Structure 1
Amino acid sequence: MKEIVHITEAFGGGVLSMLTQLSNRAAAAGVGVTILHSIRPETPNNFASLFHPAVKLVYVSMFREVSVKKDWTSMWELVRKLKECNPSVVHLHSSKAGVLGRAAARVAAPRARVFYSPHGLAFLRRDVSAAKQFAYLSFERIAARMGGTIVACSKSEQHEIETQMRTRNTEMIENGVNVLEIPSRLEKDGREVVVGMSGRASFQKNHEAFVQLATDLRNSTTQFLWIGGNLDELPGQTASDSVVCSGWVTRERALALTSGLDIYVQTSRWEGMPIALIEAQVAGIPAVVTDVVGNRDVVLHGQTGFVATTHEDMQKYIAMLRDDPILRARMGETAKRTASRRFSMEAIFRKWLSVYEFGSDRYLKEPVESNEFESYEPTSESQY
């Protein structure tokens, strides 16, 4: 029996979304799966129920911030757990696991094939100093020398890896979603246009820019909706007049609210490849996004939405889509058609099995495009 061990400290958000998809499908296809994970504030309380019963969930104490003492202890705990699992594949998710996991795998599983998915490169973070950015980059360069294959989730991320980390041992497999569970954009009568974004309030997501767009563009027929956010998290005194907030919502509710949007906005300062944006495109919603890694890879500029390099460009593109229902419909149809094919998790999963070298034909004799073990309802914060 083949055995995959996933390791992640970042047990929430897009990492959790991809882990449930990959793990549940592999388990349903007869592959042994163990997840060595820590807990973050955004980890949903019901995380165990999100996984196929055959997936083994094992807690390992890991911490997001750098601490020599804590990281050393975490690394040796990973060594012990890996020796118990005896994996043929070790798949690491996000930066902390990428460093600790490669060191642990060299000691405990030297014959295993090791893969590292950054899910957003830490040295691209803009909420830390230049010194910390350089430190994160240095850690990535050192870890890359310990072996393994780095798997980027977008062409832009792969470019950053190869040029900044100075390694060519890379693959590129985009993020995927279960297309069948995403409701299509609602057809509406009337002139009202709903512009929205989904996710938690954070420096990365740049919700301040969303509030500013709403302040500048909102009128009697244009509504701005923040899915998953609360009003007290928004900056400024005018936010309550410009933005409607859904508050905490389940994943199912977040998808339903997204289907009611006419334009999706992603104001991120940096990304890996955002799942919420992919879901909006699959739903058939044109998007206006910032020109950063991940965003620019999902949206086909001028075809499924617009990629904006400045705040003024975002205003212009949103206004263009708001005022032209024919353009919105055309771009939405193109988004749905291309994204549903490109980001189908069934195709993405086959690519992963091929990279793992398990042989996709052998393990996919029966279809696994099923919601039985894939449907789950984390908070919108934990998903996005």
Structure 2
Amino acid sequence: MNILLITVRADFGGGPRHVHQLIEELPSDFNIYVAFPQGKPYGNLWQEHPKIKKCINIPYRKFSIKYLFLLRRFIIENNISILHSHGNGAGLYSRILKIIVPQIKVVHTFHGITNNYSSYFISCIHKIIGRSLRYLTNKFILVSNGEFELGKSMRFLFTDKSVIIYNAIADEGLKFNRYDNKLVIISLSRFDFAKNMDMAYRIAKALRNNHEIEFVWVGDGEDFVRLKQKSVEEHVNINFIGFTEYPMSYLKNADLYLSTSRFEGLPYALIEAASVGLPIVATDVVGNNEVVLHDYNGLVFKTEQEAVDAIKKLSINADLLNRYSINSRELYLKTFTMEKMISSIVDTYVQVLNQ
């Protein structure tokens, strides 16, 4: 079976990471081809990856008629049977390719659906495109129940052609036991609009007089420098780590995970947090609320004050923190293992090919 994975991103993010997992973990009887932009980290990794039969470079987050027809030729020359697109930009390529190469089977994974647009005009354009492209899709993969419900309400998919397959990560063991008195609260994040690190900053600022609480932020992005400078000026206790290729070591040395995302598909960072046994405090949004079950392995919140109160509550209740920790690990093992995800995706490919 020849499968072409397509993504218009190869930088850090859930979509590219998911593509990398498929490249690494799909069984050897699948011939893997990949269309992707150049760049760090994944573009460089994929260029010479031993499991990739052949690759083609396409523009970063940009649609091009020229590359549409280069992809068409690539599909025909390599006898591709399934085109699996990841994210909105890749989904535009895959569904238009369905028109000009009608025999191709198209599987599309959204990796996050939003109804939070910057203007009414952009909202209308996105909805028109999304509702039109659904007719050119053989199978929709949703990474959470919430994403499925949102996609259904926005008419971006057909329910009888949809399957929910949770994101997953490999098991890297439990967090370390720490014996000092500090509560270390970690966030792994891009510093951008979607991740809403301004809210995380305001939560940290509200707790700055509690010297037993330390915030650790791992990641980079457009808001990183501004927020770091602001924390210095206002004496907010945040340790800005910046980008790292191995954030797991920071997760394992933390006590609690904080997410302030405005929207998600199904966030890898929260799955990682659950896998090492971290309790989680997170915004009550699509995706988050399927990794954080309220009062089971953490607490979800709608307002900044609710988040502040949740952290205060956990900072003085070691038994509750420990119960949430145990439950996080159990939820990961039950729901978010790599074996479960890969098995479901293989089943989906076989089903689509036999339609």
Same-fold call, TM > 0.5? Answer: yes
Deviations 1:195-221 (A, max 9, x none): 110122111111111111111113221
1:273 counterpart = 2:266:
yes
**Pair 1:55–1:285, CA change in 2 (3 A):** same
The separation in 2 between residues aligned to 1:331 and 1:131, in whole angstroms, is: 43
Of 160, 170, 174, which aligns to 2:166?
174
Q: Which residue of 1 aligns with 2:29?
A: 30
Q: Which of 51, 54, 61 pairs up with 1:54?
A: 51
**Structure-2 separation of matches of 1:357 and 1:271:** 28
Contact 1:183 1:256 in 2 (8 A): no
Structure 2 unpaired stretches of 5+: none
CA distance in 2, matches of 1:348, 1:304: 21
Q: What is the one-letter code of the residue matched to 1:217? A: L
| Alignment-derived partner of residue 242 in structure 2 | 247
CA gap of 1:50–1:266, structure 2 versus 1, over 3 A, is: farther
- 2:33 is the counterpart of 1:16: no
Q: Distance in 2 between matches of 1:45 and 1:237?
A: 34
Higher alpha-carbon deviation: 291-300 or 326-335: 291-300
**1:366 aligned partner:** none
Cα distance in 1, alignment partners of residues 294 and 225 from structure 2: 34
Q: Displacement of 1:45 after TM fit?
A: 6.3
Q: Does 1:116 pair with 2:108?
A: yes
SS in 2 for 1:317: helix
Alignment of 1:148-159 (within 5 A): 148-159=138-149
Which letter does structure 1 place at the counterpart of 2:115? Answer: L
> Are 2:6 and 2:83, in contact at CA under 8 Å, matched by a contact in 1?
yes
CA distance in 2, matches of 1:204, 1:78: 30
Q: What is the aligned-residue RMSD (CA, Å)? A: 2.2
1: CA distance, partners of 2:28 / 2:214 = 44
Q: Give the secondary structure class of the aligned counterpart of 1:48.
A: helix
Equivalent-residue separation in structure 2 for 1:248 and 1:308 (angstroms): 27
Kindly indicate whether residue 233 of structure 2 is the aligned counterpart of residue 225 of structure 1.
no
Letter paired with 2:241? S
Q: CA deviation at 1:44?
A: 4.8
More off after superposition, 99-108 vs 281-290:
99-108
Cα separation, 1, equivalents of 2:305 and 2:83: 44
Partners in 2 of 1:322 and 1:225 — Cα distance?
16
Q: Which amino acid aligns with 1:38?
A: P
Count residues in correspondence: 344
Residue 25 and residue 148 in structure 1: after superposition, are their counterparts in 2 closer, same or farther (change >3 A)?
A: same
Tell me if structure 2 keeps the 8 A contact 1:281–1:335. yes
The alpha-carbon deviation at position 228 of structure 1 amounts to 2.3
State the SS of the aligned residue for 2:262. coil
Give 1:7's aligned amino acid. Answer: I
* AA aligned opposite 2:213: T
Q: 1:83 to 1:306 in 2, by over 3 A?
A: same
User: What TM-score, normalized by structure 2, do the two folds share?
Assistant: 0.90
Pair 50,153 (structure 1): closer, same or farther in 2 beyond 3 Å: farther
Distance 2:199 2:211 in 1: 21
Cα distance in 2 between the residues matched to 1:201 and 1:134: 27
| 1:87 Cα deviation after fit | 1.7
Distance 2:286 2:148 in 1: 10
> 2:311 is paired with a residue of what secondary structure?
helix
Q: TM-score by structure 1 length? A: 0.84
Match of 1:204 in 2: 194
> Following superposition, which runs of at least 4 residues in structure 1 exceed 6 angstroms of deviation?
none
Shift of residue 106 of structure 1?
Answer: 3.4
CA contact (8 A) 1:20 1:50 kept: no
Mapped partners of 2:201, 2:65: distance in 1: 42
Amino acid at match of 1:149: K
Report deviation, 1:105: 3.1
Offset at residue 336 of structure 1 (A): 0.4
**In structure 2, do the counterparts of structure 1 residues 50 and 344 end up closer, same or farther at CA, with 3 Å as the change threshold?**
farther
- Structure 1 pair 130/322, CA: closer, same or farther in 2 (3 Å)? farther
* 1:229/1:60 CA distance change after superposition, 3 Å: closer
2:309 to 316, 338, 341: 316
Name 2:125's counterpart in structure 1: 135
